[in-house]
Amino acid sequence: MRLSVEEYRHGVLYWSPDSPSAVRVANAPEPGHDRVWSAPLTSPHGSVLPFPLLADAAIELEPLAPASDERPSRVRLERLGEQGVETYVWEDDFSRGAVILPLVPDYGRYHHLLVATPYLTWLEPCAVRVGNAAIRFDLVPEERKVPSEANQRDIAEGRFPERFEWVDAVVPRGQIEILAPGETDEGAMLNAAAIHGLVTLCLGSEATGVILGRYSYDVPGPGDGEWRHTTSSVVEPQVTDPRVQSVEIAQTAEFDLIDRTLPLLFPAQNIANGIARARRIALRSYERGMRAPSFLDKFLAFFMGVEVVVRSCETGDPPRPVLAPLLKEDQFLAALEELQPKYEDVDLVAMISRVFAQVPITEHFRHFTVRRGLSDSQGQFIRTKNLRYGLVHGRGVFIGPEQAGEAQQLLLRLLRCELTPPDAMRWEALPQIGGMMLAGPLEAPGTPSITAYQVKNFRIGQ
């Protein structure tokens, strides 16, 4: 669900069980004043309130036809307050006041990741909500030096200015806030990194940004313990060139794509789903590769993501072990029995059976890509796999921007294919600088190419 800031400030209502009932919300400016009731809200998985929440709120249920014996026992209202997300929870007796949960959308463990994007902005703030995961795209005013109006006019008309003139201005700088659930603190942190990887995949490399802070929240249910909040200080220095022109991006196409793909990471609020978990790990590897300080670290992170996708994201029949049929050949078994006396401490048949039962990564990749129409990436994978094999076996292998860029391009294609239906994307040549791939945005079906991205990586003053 993609929300404007105004809609998020009004609030989103959820209830369970999701029986055919409607919920009405009442507001009053202060306790004791007359309440004004909303029209019936009928979507249990997210109904946006028609007005902002005031000081004195109440709810009531209204059965819908066909009526159900199972009425909602829990109603949750999530909204964007002055200090961030805040949630009102009514349970069982709705005549009582709500329990207010600050900073989180529900009970449980969460990780809050705050990322500044100095070289990326958008037309207006918004939020994307799926399950208990939330992404906020905010705009923060920042003092910068920008080209003069004459320079900007030259650039807009396709001319390169003869001389740059810089003027002081307050410009909006993008800021991304990610709130991710998890069964443990570490699990929530990894889920937040996966969401950040998805955002980078959809918006481009500029969304990698600078991490400003990390926060962990543990909000147990009633009677299960005390609320816990752990804060991490700024983990990366914010170093930016003040003479950079941020470029606005096409919000509708790209943010709608995030809204459409985020449920693939958190299906029906079941974060234990195996394929969804593999997708999150692969996106975490992509995010880690984008942030890694060296090309070697980038290469290893990207290749790990490739392995996770092809081994764990296949939904059809898995590839069969290539050598397993040999164990049914009488001649092969007879040869093993003949060799057995030379290896008294090893059960040759058992050991080779274990080895032959394994499916090599090359076969996993071939099986995955043939089914997804990506057979032309076989050569790219073999080159990358051989480099990785040399690294882990201590051979003298050089990893530079070209090798890391090829591993990133490989993972990028697999993730795009895994997270977006084939008929909803167009493969295009992605820009490269110094051999290192700069990830372009995914494209939603039927949308024109995003011209803003063509100049997103243009640096003025460098």
pTM assigned to the model: 0.80
pLDDT digits (tens, 9 = 90+) for 4-30: 889 999 889 888 877 667 777 777 766
pLDDT interval class at 353 (50, 70, 90)? confident
Separation CA 267–CA 200 (nearest Å): 20
- What pLDDT shows up at residue 180? 95
Cα→Cα distances 207→176, 361, 425, Å: 9, 31, 20
With 70 as the cut, is the pLDDT of residue 242 above it? no
With 50 as the cut, is the pLDDT of residue 201 above it? yes
User: Which residues face 24 on adjacent strands?
Assistant: 60
Packed helices 401-419 and 378-392: angle between N→C axes, nearest 10 degrees:
120
- 296 or 338, which is more confident: 296
pLDDT interval class at 459 (50, 70, 90)? very low
Q: How many CA atoms lie within 13 A of 134 on its CB side?
A: 27
Packed helices 330-339 and 348-356: angle between N→C axes, nearest 10 degrees:
130
For the chain, give percent helix, strand, coil, nearest 5.
40, 25, 35
With 60 as the cut, is the pLDDT of residue 231 above it? yes
pLDDT digits (tens, 9 = 90+) for 178-191: 999 999 999 999 99
Contact 1, 128 (CB under 8 A): yes
pLDDT interval class at 428 (50, 70, 90)? very low
Contact 209, 112 (CB under 8 A): no
For 87-111, what is the mean pLDDT? 85
- Nearest to residue 117, comparing CAs of 292, 233, 249? 249
- What pLDDT shows up at residue 238? 52
Contact 164, 461 (CB under 8 A): yes
With 60 as the cut, is the pLDDT of residue 216 above it? yes
> What letter would DSSP give residue 456?
T
